[in-house]
């Protein structure tokens, strides 16, 4: 079987192409290493300093460590009604909007107060003045005593929550 013959230009072009690709490949890491990267105080990384400037600023040379720099986006300013909420810009909330917010807050607090009072009533009924009925799984008397203590603690927490909710509602009524 006969192998096809290549022309003289094709035989000469292939080694030249390989040499050019190899030279480009070898030159790219060398060029990347030409720049010295410095780590300065406050974790500032730069390659734009001379050796004297880096020494004056207290920067240290990074050797063999690749550095990736990611540009962060600047935060956008709020638009429309959300700009009214930020007190740092000196804008005030419209009084009608504030009244609506206060009414919503009052409604939410009153709903929470009602739920907490219902929960407290259920806990007090189960607690039965410190003598709740024993359950079938409480053959061990210590289990019963632990449940009584848990009920008492839950009642105390619930009463504290109710007092806090009533204080918050009072602040809305008092205006302060």
Same domain for 58 and 115?
no
Domain for residue 170, yes or no?
yes
Same domain for 63 and 99?
no
Say whether 40 sits in a helix, a strand or coil: strand
Domain for residue 84, yes or no?
no
Same domain for 168 and 101?
yes
Number of domains in the chain: 2
Same domain for 126 and 168?
yes
C-alpha 165: how far from its chain's center? 29
Contact (Cβ atoms closer than 8 angstroms) between residue 151 and residue 122: no
Domain for residue 140, yes or no?
yes
Q: Which two tokens stand for residue 113?
A: 């107060």
Domain final residue pick, 50, 67, 84: 67
Domain for residue 14, yes or no?
no
Which domain does 44 fall in, by range?
A: 33-67
Domain for residue 115, yes or no?
yes
Contact (Cβ atoms closer than 8 angstroms) between residue 95 and residue 117: no
Same domain for 104 and 158?
yes
* pLDDT value at residue 72: 77
How many Cβ atoms from other residues are within 10 Å of residue 57's Cβ? 13
Whether the predicted model's global pTM rises above the 0.85 cut = no
Same domain for 117 and 170?
yes
Same domain for 53 and 105?
no
Same domain for 167 and 111?
yes
Answer with the residue of higher pLDDT: 70 or 59: 59
Domain for residue 146, yes or no?
yes
* pLDDT value at residue 32: 46
Domain for residue 9, yes or no?
no
E strand spans, 50-140: 60-62
CA 6 to CA 87: how far, in whole Å?
80
Same domain for 169 and 102?
yes
> For the segment 93-151, what is each residue's pLDDT rounded down to a tens digit?
899 998 999 999 999 999 999 999 999 999 999 999 989 999 888 889 999 999 999 99
* pLDDT value at residue 34: 57
Answer with the residue of higher pLDDT: 47 or 119: 119
Say whether 62 sits in a helix, a strand or coil: strand
pLDDT at 30 over 60: no
Domain for residue 77, yes or no?
no
């Amino acid at each position: 079987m006969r192998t096809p013959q290549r022309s003289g230009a094709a035989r000469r072009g292939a080694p030249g192409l390989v040499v050019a690709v190899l030279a480009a490949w070898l030159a790219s890491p060398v060029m990347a290493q030409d720049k010295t990267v410095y780590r300065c105080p406050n974790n500032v990384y730069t390659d734009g300093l001379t050796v004297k400037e880096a020494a004056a600023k207290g920067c240290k040379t990074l050797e063999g460590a690749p550095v990736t720099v990611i540009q962060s986006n600047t935060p956008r300013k709020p638009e429309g009604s959300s700009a009214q909420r930020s007190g740092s810009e000196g804008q005030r909330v419209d009084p009608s909007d504030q009244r609506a917010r206060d009414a919503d807050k009052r409604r939410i607090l009153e709903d929470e107060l009602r739920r907490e009072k219902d929960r407290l009533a259920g806990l007090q009924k189960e607690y039965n003045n410190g003598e709740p009925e024993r359950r079938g799984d409480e053959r061990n008397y210590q289990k019963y005593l632990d449940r009584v203590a848990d009920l008492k603690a839950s009642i105390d927490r619930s009463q504290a929550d109710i007092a806090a909710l009533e204080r918050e509602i009072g602040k809305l009524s008092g205006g302060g």
